C-alpha cells in the first residue's frame, strides 16, 4: 500500500487523504451531537486505544462483551475517519462513544451548541514522539518518518498528521466549556489505573462497585489488553500495519523517550517545549 499525501485541513493542521477523504470531513462537519454523547479526544499516540477500551467498559458497567466482540475502531469510531460514514451512527443508542483527534477550534457547530461530554487525554510529548515515530514506521499509509532527527524536526514544527502536539494540547486546555471536559494524563493512568477508572466513571455519572472498577482496570492493564484481538490491531492486514516492524500496543510505558533520545535531542526538545508551553498553567505529571 502506498503512502498517502498530507494536506492542510485547517490552519497548520494536516490530515491524510486516504484515512480522511473530503466526504468524511464533510460528514463530520454536518454531524449532530447529543448531550449524552461521550467524546474521547487525543493527540495521536496519547492513549486513544486505551480509552476506547476503558470507556465502553465503564458504560457497560464491566460487561466485557463490547470490547471482546467489536473492534475498537467500530466500538468507538473516529468521527473524522472514512469508516464513520458507514456505521449508521445516527441510529446508535445513547450514550454513543466517539473519538477524535481534532484540535478544539476544528470541532463542528453542533459540538459548540450541544457541548457533549469530553475526555481529553494528554501524554508526555517526548513519549508521544517516540510512539509516533514507531507508528510512522509500521503504518504504510503514513509518510515514512526518516531518521529520528528528521522526524523530530517535523514533530516540533507540527508538519505531521494532526499538526502540532503543542497547539492541540493548548487548544483543548483553553476550551471555554471546561465543565464538560475531564482532563486526564496517560502517566496518571499508568500510575493508578483504578483511580482513573473511578474518575472517568464519576465524570460519566456511573456509580461502579469496587469489584467492577477492579475488573475494568484488570482487563485494561497493558499486558491483558494487548491480548484482545479486538483492540490490538491484529485484525488489520499487514499491508496497512506491519506489526513485525513495530507492534501497535508497543510498550505502554512512561519515559521510553529516555531509551531513545540523545542529549542533543533532549536539549532541542526541551527548548521548544519551554518556549511553546511557557503560558500554560496546567500541572502535568511529567514536568
Ligand atoms: P507506545 O507506542 O509508547 O507503546 P494511541 O492509541 O493514541 O494511538 O496511543 C498508542 C499508545 O498507547 C502506544 O504507546 C500504546 O502501547 C499505548 N497503549 C495502548 N493501550 C495501553 C494500555 N492498556 N496501557 C498502557 N499503554 C497503552
Query: What is the tens place of the pLDDT at every residue in 89-146?
Result: 999 999 999 999 999 999 999 999 999 999 999 999 999 999 999 999 999 989 899 9
- Is the beta carbon of 252 within 6 A of some atom in ligand 1? yes
What is residue 30's predicted lDDT score, i.e. its pLDDT?
A: 96
Report the nearest atom of ligand 1 relative to the CA of 50.
Answer: 20
> Is 104 a catalytic site residue?
no
pLDDT, tens only, 213-266: 999 999 999 999 999 999 999 999 999 999 999 999 999 999 999 999 999 999
pLDDT of residue 13: 85
Is the CB of residue 49 below 6 angstroms from any atom belonging to ligand 1? yes
Taking every pair of Cα atoms in the chain, the longest distance, rounded to a whole number of angstroms, is: 52
Tell whether the model's pLDDT for residue 184 goes beyond 90: yes
Give the 3-state secondary structure of residue 151. helix
249 lines ligand 1 (CB under 6 A): yes
- Decide whether any atom of ligand 1 lies within 6 Å of the 51 Cβ: no
Q: Region 64-83: what's the mean pLDDT?
A: 96
100 beta partners:
41
11-59, pLDDT tens digit by residue?
778 888 888 989 999 999 999 999 999 999 999 999 999 999 999 999 9
Of 40, 42, 45, 224, the residue with max ligand 1 atoms within 8 A of its CB, to mutate for a pocket test, comes to 45
What spacing in Å lies between the alpha carbon of 38 and ligand 1's midpoint?
Answer: 20
Residue with cell 502506498: 2
Any atom of ligand 1 within 6 Å of the Cβ of 250: yes
Nearest in space to 102 (alpha carbons), one of 200, 199, 171, 4: 171
**Per residue, what are the HEC states of 248-261?**
CCCCCCCCHHHHCC
Cβ atoms of 136 and 155 within 8 Å: the answer is: no
Give me the percent of the chain exceeding a pLDDT of 90.
Answer: 91
Residue 86's nearest CA partner among 73, 68, 95 is 73
The CATH class of the 6-124+161-239 domain is alpha beta
Give the distance (Å) from ligand 1 centre to CA of residue 251: 7
**Which residue, 122, 118, 101, is CA-closest to 176?**
118
Q: Name the residue at shortest CA distance from atom 15 of ligand 1.
A: 249
Instruction: Give pTM, 2 decimals.
Output: 0.97
Q: Around Cβ 281, how many Cβ atoms within 10 Å?
A: 5
Closest-CA residue, ligand 1 atom 9, reads 45
66/63 Cα distance (integer angstroms) = 7
**Is pLDDT at 1 greater than 50 in this prediction?**
no
- Residue 263 CA to ligand 1 center (angstroms) comes to 25
Contact 81, 24 (CB under 8 A): yes
Asked if the peptide bond before residue 95 counts as cis, ω within 30 degrees of 0, the response is yes
Our CA dihedral for 97, 102, 107, 110, rounded to 10 degrees, sits at -20
Amino acid at each position: 500500500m502506498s503512502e498517502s499525501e498530507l494536506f492542510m485541513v485547517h490552519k497548520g493542521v494536516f490530515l491524510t487523504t486516504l484515512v480522511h477523504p473530503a466526504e468524511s470531513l464533510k460528514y463530520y462537519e454536518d454531524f449532530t451531537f447529543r448531550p449524552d454523547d461521550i467524546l474521547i479526544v487525543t493527540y495521536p499516540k496519547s492513549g486513544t486505544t486505551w480509552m476506547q477500551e476503558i470507556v465502553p467498559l465503564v458504560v457497560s458497567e464491566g460487561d466485557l462483551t463490547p470490547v471482546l466482540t467489536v473492534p475498537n475502531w467500530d466500538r468507538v469510531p473516529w468521527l473524522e475517519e472514512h469508516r464513520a460514514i458507514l456505521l449508521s451512527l445516527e441510529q446508535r443508542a445513547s450514550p454513543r462513544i466517539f473519538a477524535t483527534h481534532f484540535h478544539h477550534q476544528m470541532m463542528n457547530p453542533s459540538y459548540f451548541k450541544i457541548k457533549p461530554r469530553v475526555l481529553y487525554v494528554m501524554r508526555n510529548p517526548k513519549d508521544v514522539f517516540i510512539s509516533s515515530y514507531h507508528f510512522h514506521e509500521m503504518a504504510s499509509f503514513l509518510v515514512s518518518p526518516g531518521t529520528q532527527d528528521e522526524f523530530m524536526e517535523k514533530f516540533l514544527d507540527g508538519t505531521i498528521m494532526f499538526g502540532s502536539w503543542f497547539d492541540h494540547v493548548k487548544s483543548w486546555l483553553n476550551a471555554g466549556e471546561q465543565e464538560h471536559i475531564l482532563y486526564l494524563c496517560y502517566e496518571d493512568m499508568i500510575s493508578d489505573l483504578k483511580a482513573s477508572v473511578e474518575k472517568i466513571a464519576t465524570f460519566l455519572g456511573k456509580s461502579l462497585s469496587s469489584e467492577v472498577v477492579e475488573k475494568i482496570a484488570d482487563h485494561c492493564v497493558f499486558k491483558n489488553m494487548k491480548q484482545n484481538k479486538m483492540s490490538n490491531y491484529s485484525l488489520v492486514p499487514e499491508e496497512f500495519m506491519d506489526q513485525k516492524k513495530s507492534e501497535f500496543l508497543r510498550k505502554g510505558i512512561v519515559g521510553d523517550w529516555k531509551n531513545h533520545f540523545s542529549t542533543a535531542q533532549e536539549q532541542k526538545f526541551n527548548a521548544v517545549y519551554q518556549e511553546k508551553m511557557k503560558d500554560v498553567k496546567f500541572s502535568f505529571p511529567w514536568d
